[in-house]
Amino acid sequence: MKTENFTLRCFQPRDLDAVIRINMTCLPENYTPFFYLQHYRNFPKAFYVAEVDGRVVGYVMSRVERGLSNHKPLSIVKKGHIVSIAVLPEYRRRGIGKALMTHSLEGLREYGAEECYLEVRVSNTAAINLYKSLGFEMVRVVKRYYLDGEDAYIMSRRLT
């Protein structure tokens, strides 16, 4: 396992190109620059990047929504939503993904979110394990959620 140090900080607009490049390298779900900047403007404390030797190597982008609770039956609550997370392949398995998630969850908590949810491909064992290690549980399956027809697990955890 590699052991170089990494640092985390909140996303800044100057990170946009790097974040888009990481997203395009790591995920088939891609977004417009406007989409990233909108999340930065609305929820800056939940949008983090990880740096190694001054290079941005990972990010997590999240937001707060209002909707039906996954934990309190028939309640409308503020829910955090992990919209996108990725770490460049050569920097994985050294705790960066977990640290990004932990910081984003703390930001979501600061915005008053009571719980947090996300979608993940049913085949994405790495991400599912990461989320389980942070206390997320599968709450349901959404059939053919992804454009290529793959199903998604909705995973959720309480933040309070």
Ligand X SMILES: CC(C)(COP(=O)(O)OP(=O)(O)OC[C@H]1O[C@@H](n2cnc3c(N)ncnc32)[C@H](O)[C@@H]1OP(=O)(O)O)[C@@H](O)C(=O)NCCC(=O)NCCS
Binding site for ligand X (CB under 6 A): 26-27, 85-87, 92-98, 120, 124-127, 129-130, 133
Q: Report which residue's Cβ sits closest to ligand X.
A: 97
**Nearer Cβ to ligand X (19/96):** 96
Which tokens in the block code for residue 1? 């396992």
Nearer to ligand X, 123 or 160 (CB): 123
Tell me how far, at minimum, the Cβ of 7 lies from ligand X, in Å. 14
Query: Starting at the edge strand that comes first in sequence, how are the strands of the sheet with 137-142 ordered?
Result: 7-10, 48-52, 55-68, 76-87, 115-121, 152-158, 137-142
Report whether 51 contacts 2 (CB < 8 A): no
Q: Minimum Å distance from CB 86 to ligand X?
A: 4
First to last CA, the chain: 34
Closest CB 127 distance from ligand X, rounded Å: 4
CA distance 19 to 154: 24
User: Please, which residue, 43 or 91, has the CB nearer to ligand X?
Assistant: 91
> 73 or 149: whose CB is closer to ligand X?
149
Distance, CA of 44 to CA of 106 (rounded, Å): 12
Nearest approach, Cβ of residue 3 and ligand X (Å): 12
